[in-house]
């Protein structure tokens, strides 16, 4: 009888251990017991993003705001976000930038390899890591891949900004744990009519110029590259400029969605 009673308690004990373990991990991921004002830090980081995102950097300049779906932003846990189209003054190339400020847990839940196929795209080139030399001498680690449907191929770069570093973590929720706020950036270009490899070169140039200026603006450090005075902000929204479909498979200007990146 005693043995039978103990065996009956075993599932209860194991269940309790599992609940405690999951709660502990979740608490560590969300900084619940750190004593920090995580929500305050997150809000401040989001406000900096929306107030200070660079309008000009290198040969690139802001063209138009892109529309975003509030429901999709809510699902992404976006406390702040930027969705804009940029053009290169010399070449005329266009790149869409979409960036959210969120907790590591929320930011890591949305990557292109899950969302684009659900919107009618197929994965043309599987995601892989690519290092990009920045104009200030640092290196950014990114993911990149392409997504295709009838008549259109999109190249997407994405990376996480945390503490002045840009990284492409294998398991983002674990590697980013302990950080109150993460900036997650997408750079998207329509490469349908571009020669092979050119889209990668264009996006690398875009990120090489943007990221040092972004860090300088967000963290109050002196920019290492020559900054250009901000341009006057155009009015209006772009309904579907080149590359915006990459931000949202349904052309709403909202990011797609994985655990890896």
| Residue 254 exposure: Cα atoms within 13 Å on the Cβ side | 18
Can you give the residue ranges of every domain in the chain? 1-30, 37-246
Instruction: Categorize the per-residue pLDDT at 176 as very low, low, confident or very high, splitting at 50, 70 and 90.
Output: confident
pLDDT of residue 68: 85
Instruction: Categorize the per-residue pLDDT at 111 as very low, low, confident or very high, splitting at 50, 70 and 90.
Output: confident
Average pLDDT over residues 116-132: 90
Separation between Cα atoms, residue 157 and residue 145, nearest integer Å: 7
> How buried is 72 (Cβ within 10 angstroms: 0-12 exposed, 13-18 middle, 19+ buried)?
buried
pLDDT of residue 221: 57
Longest dimension (CA), the chain: 84
Instruction: Categorize the per-residue pLDDT at 126 as very low, low, confident or very high, splitting at 50, 70 and 90.
Output: very high
User: Percent of the chain beyond pLDDT 70?
Assistant: 70
More confident residue, 190 or 71: 190
- pLDDT greater than 50 at residue 254: no
- pLDDT greater than 50 at residue 34: no
Separation between Cα atoms, residue 9 and residue 228, nearest integer Å: 69
pLDDT of residue 75: 74
What are phi and psi for residue 150, nearest 5 degrees? -50, 115
Q: Quick one: which of 88, 85, 122 has its CA closest to 205?
A: 88
- pLDDT greater than 60 at residue 255: no
- What does R_g of the chain's alpha carbons equal in angstroms? 21
Average pLDDT over residues 31-58: 84
More confident residue, 191 or 38: 191
Angle CA(154)–CA(211)–CA(31) in degrees, nearest 5? 95
- pLDDT greater than 90 at residue 191: yes
Q: Which whole-number Å values give the CA distances from 188 to 36, 42, 113, 219, in the listed order?
A: 35, 25, 14, 25
CB 154 within 8 A of CB 122: no
- pLDDT greater than 80 at residue 193: yes
Mean pLDDT of the chain: 78
- pLDDT greater than 80 at residue 131: yes
**Range from 38-42, 52-56, 71-75, 195-199 carrying the lowest mean pLDDT:** 71-75
User: Percent of the chain beyond pLDDT 90?
Assistant: 51
Over residues 58-92, the pLDDT tens digits come to 999 999 999 987 877 887 789 999 999 999 999 99
Separation between Cα atoms, residue 236 and residue 84, nearest integer Å: 11
pLDDT of residue 18: 46
Separation between Cα atoms, residue 213 and residue 93, nearest integer Å: 20
How would you classify residue 105: left for phi > 0, otherwise alpha for psi between -120 and 50, otherwise beta?
Answer: alpha
Over residues 150-169, the pLDDT tens digits come to 999 999 999 999 988 999 99
pTM: 0.74
């Amino acid at each position: 009888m005693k043995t039978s009673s103990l065996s009956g308690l075993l599932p209860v004990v194991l269940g309790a251990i599992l609940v405690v373990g999951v709660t502990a991990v979740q608490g560590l991921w969300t900084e619940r017991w750190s004593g920090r004002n995580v929500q305050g830090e997150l809000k401040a980081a989001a406000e900096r993003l929306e107030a200070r995102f660079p309008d000009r950097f290198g040969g690139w300049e802001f063209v138009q705001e892109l529309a975003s779906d509030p429901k999709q932003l809510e699902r992404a846990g976006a406390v702040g976000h930027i969705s804009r189209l940029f053009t290169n003054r010399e070449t005329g190339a266009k790149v869409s930038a979409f960036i959210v400020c969120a907790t590591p847990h929320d930011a890591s839940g949305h990557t292109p390899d899950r969302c684009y196929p659900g919107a009618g795209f197929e994965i043309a080139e599987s995601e892989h890591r690519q290092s990009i030399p920045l104009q200030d001498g640092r290196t950014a680690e990114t993911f990149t891949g392409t997504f295709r449907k009838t008549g259109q191929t999109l190249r997407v770069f994405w990376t996480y900004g945390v503490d002045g570093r840009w990284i492409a973590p294998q398991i983002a929720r674990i590697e980013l744990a302990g950080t109150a706020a993460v900036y997650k950036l997408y750079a998207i270009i329509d490469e349908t009519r571009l020669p092979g490899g050119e889209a990668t070169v264009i996006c690398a140039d875009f990120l090489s110029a943007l990221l040092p200026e972004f860090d300088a603006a967000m963290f109050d450090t002196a920019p290492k590259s020559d900054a250009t005075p901000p341009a006057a902000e155009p009015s209006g929204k772009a309904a579907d400029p080149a590359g915006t479909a990459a931000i949202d498979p349904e052309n709403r200007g909202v990011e797609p969605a994985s655990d890896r990146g």
